[in-house]
Chain A
Amino acid sequence: MKYLLTALLTGITALAFAQSKFFTRNGTVTFFSSAPLEDITAKNYSTIAVLDTETGNIEFSALMKSFEFKKALMQEHFNENYVESDKFPKAVFVGSVRNLSMVDFNKDGAYDTEVSGEMTIHGISQRLTAAGQIIKRGERISLQSKFILKPEDYEIKIPDLVRDKIAQEIEVTVKAELEELKR
């Protein structure tokens, strides 16, 4: 009786954990700023993403210092002057897939989705809704999304002097290839 109950409870617990979580540590986040004087691109190759296919919850975390720029000085200024990486080392998104019922994780295919949640950058949290795609292929799940962020929404100040070099709207592209999280 005692063993049966223990086994049952353990079984239930294990079941609840099993096979519904997918993750990566190598997601890419690219941002692109197009301004009259300069186009700036930066890429983060080590973004963490976790998706729970059962609840539709999805989370991203990117280290600000891992954004790579073409110009070393730009990268330094990004960290030192704009996002203040020492104080706010990460950008984090916590949200959920709104139309989860449209996604069949048992069938290969590309599903258009909308994700909404809270984006935290530079210590400031903002609601964010972004359109994207969930692509199920075999054992893997790919995520793709593109959306616009405004630095001023996150209290990232851009001096007038460099106004013509940094756009007021930054285009962000997210790509992540997730695999099953085995525990």
Chain B
Amino acid sequence: MIKNYFLLTSLLLFGFHSFSQESLLDLLVEEERTEYTTASFKTTRIINTQSIENLASGVLDLKISHRFGRVNRGINDFFGLDQATIRLGLDYGITDRLMVGIGRSTVQKAVDGFAKYKMLRQSSGKVDMPISLSWYSNVLVVTQDFPNPERDNEFKHRLFFTHQLLAARKFNSGTSIMLMPTLIHRNLVESTQVDNDVLALGLGGRQKITNRVALTFEYFYVLPNQIDDIYKNSLSLGFDIETGGHVFQLHFTNSLGMMDKQYITETTGDWGAGDIHFGFNISRVFTLKEPKRKPNE
């Protein structure tokens, strides 16, 4: 009996004692929350391809992208820097999940417009979602002269469509990998020997080196027997450098065109032969519309 009292007393006292040593914050049961993964990539593009990132609602992004000539042109062409092709683009975030953009490329004098919608967001905690998933669609209008003027050409023959699923996972704070099953529909092709529809699978990723610098890569594998043998798979390697409101992306790629149908189905450069283009993308964002709940209220 006595023993029991002793036990009870010491238990209660011990309980009280340990309680008074505890941190006050431990008194509150932590509410389980969903933590959404952010910043899987530095910007909305990996190199040529879209990344899983979206612009926040109300943010305008001016993108200036350059690709130079092939480095194997040698010193006479200053390793390709004498020739520059560009794409000027404007992207805008309509909501945090939906962004749209337009652009104009030197290559094929092409005008493009796209929309990208984030369907799933990678998260942990209350809602556990292993990947982020986005849908991307693009229409490209080639405005340069038709290659075969004798043919009965109509406006629709200038149109090219791309549809893409972007499935990305940020494995840790530095490493993100993305898979991109892609369908490209071409209203006009070079010959009846090739398909109008082209399926390709892309793989992209980034590895942070420091907080502000990251290595990036992307590769597109075009499934066999769809396009002419002269075309190569697109491979690009680069790095992202971020300084305040700018992101600089410097890279080497065997593709000259910067739009999906151009680099996925029309890349002629061969890495092995030195047909490599140096290029860069510059991104400058402008916050046109601030979040509704203003932090400085």
Q: How far is the CB of B172 from chain A (nearest CB, A)?
A: 8
Instruction: Tell me the complex Cα distance, A165–B16, Å.
Output: 51
Q: Which of A25, A84, A181 contacts B27 (CB 8 A)?
A: A181
A21 touches B24 (CB 8 A): yes
Q: How far is the CB of B291 from chain A (nearest CB, A)?
A: 7
Given known A50-B28, A79-B39, A161-B244, contact A10–B12 (CB-CB < 8 A): yes
A2 touches B5 (CB 8 A): yes
Does A176 sit at the interface, judged by CB under 8 A? Answer: no
Does B82 sit at the interface, judged by CB under 8 A? Answer: no
- Interface bin, chain B: 35 or more
Given known A2-B5, A21-B27, A68-B295, contact A16–B16 (CB-CB < 8 A): yes
A165 touches B244 (CB 8 A): yes
Chain A residues with CB under 8 Å of B27's CB are 21, 23, 50, 181, 183
Instruction: Tell me the complex Cα distance, A122–B12, Å.
Output: 38
Given known A43-B295, A161-B244, contact A9–B25 (CB-CB < 8 A): no
Q: How far is the CB of A118 from chain B (nearest CB, A)?
A: 12
Does B290 sit at the interface, judged by CB under 8 A? Answer: yes
Chain B residues with CB under 8 Å of A41's CB are 295-296
Given known A86-B173, A161-B244, contact A70–B295 (CB-CB < 8 A): yes
Instruction: Tell me the complex Cα distance, A162–B212, Å.
Output: 13
Q: How far is the CB of A122 from chain B (nearest CB, A)?
A: 12
Does A97 sit at the interface, judged by CB under 8 A? Answer: no
Instruction: Tell me the complex Cα distance, A166–B271, Å.
Output: 43
Closest 3 CB pairs of A and B: A72-B56, A50-B24, A43-B295
